[in-house]
Structure 1
């Protein structure tokens, strides 16, 4: 991975679809089939109430309850618990090259942070079971601070924790809205698509 420009002091990475790879078709299939919907419909429903869940405004039970209501599906307690487990499992395939790059950034003296919209059950799981989390000087999870991207407030909270200015920071995220917020605040930002694409864009900075 190409090094970042020397005028930068910190790198902030997203989790889902960046540090963690996109869920496999098979893992999405088993959830979609449970609700008897296709993949397109699944993702539409998955996103519909996700902001409230990731902000900790609703519980996992209520989130999946709304999913069930929208698909006219009945959920018993065992199925709900299974969904809560699967919802963590599908987002657990890490992008190892990015972890290695983050490690090299730390060695080179850069500050690092993880900034992710993540529900409370998942953030607790990561904090209790992920040794790689120590690669990040700070971890800001939406459910813990009751703010979600692309709200500028959560970006500013991360910058404050890192003690850096926006112009000293590179933000890497897969969503346009989040990238635009980082740029609007005065930071550098790259919309992530793949490791090779990121390496190419880092070289162009």
Structure 2
């Protein structure tokens, strides 16, 4: 029996697009867009930032040097945080699930984004918990972060349903005995929730 539903955040409950930040930076200084995206998303720097293992000043100084930025840290942070949009259908679905189930959010997220998301989207505080990688010094797909959620919530692996858009993360959870779904859209998720009798009658995104 499922006692806990865990949602990934990015691309599941909120959308994000690093190209928005890159385009805004390019208006201010010469930016190699390929290099910028690789620094933001697919680098040791990005992973250590998501783990909360480097201070903001070090992160910004590295980015500033690598990209030859002519912006202040405050200006960069504003641009860096401006990449998110809500997925309102998914937020309402998560809320409806939270009426009869415990719901947690588990995200690989850096300190600036974590703070921004908590301030900008108060619905995050409506759920039973939000585990941010930068707060626990662990990132998915490390099994330790899933074990941490199990310990924190007092649930067994077989009592958890996990939703993430990244298949590698879902596979890591499944190896621990956690039931998981690779998110590709709300309709597919609703189908999986119904299979597990987790939705109230009529619940789910409109359309």
TM-score class, shorter: 0.7 to 0.9
1:58 maps onto 2:93 in alignment: no
TM-score (norm 1): 0.82
What is the distance in 1 between the residues matched to 2:20 and 2:113? 21
How far off is 1:52 after superposition? 0.5
What is the distance in 2 between the residues matched to 1:81 and 1:137? 32
How far off is 1:24 after superposition? 7.6
TM-score (norm 2): 0.81
Cα separation, partners in 2 of 1:148 and 1:35, compared to 1, 3 Å? farther
1:168 maps onto 2:159 in alignment: yes
What is the distance in 2 between the residues matched to 1:182 and 1:9? 16
Asked if the contact 2:157/2:177 (under 8 Å) is kept, the reply is yes
Where does structure 2 lack aligned partners over 5 or more consecutive residues? 197-207
Q: What is the RMSD of the two structures over their aligned residues, measured on CA atoms?
A: 2.3
What is the distance in 2 between the residues matched to 1:9 and 1:83? 41
Cα separation, partners in 2 of 1:128 and 1:97, compared to 1, 3 Å? same
Superimposed CA distance per residue, residues 36-62 of structure 1 (whole angstroms, 9 cap, x where no aligned partner): 223x44322212111101111112332
Moved over 6 A (4+): none
Cα separation, partners in 2 of 1:204 and 1:37, compared to 1, 3 Å? farther
1:36 maps onto 2:31 in alignment: yes
What is the distance in 1 between the residues matched to 2:186 and 2:25? 28
Give aligned pairs, total.
193
What is the distance in 2 between the residues matched to 1:9 and 1:176? 22
How far off is 1:75 after superposition? 3.9
What is the distance in 2 between the residues matched to 1:31 and 1:197? 36
1:94 maps onto 2:86 in alignment: yes
Cα separation, partners in 2 of 1:178 and 1:124, compared to 1, 3 Å? same
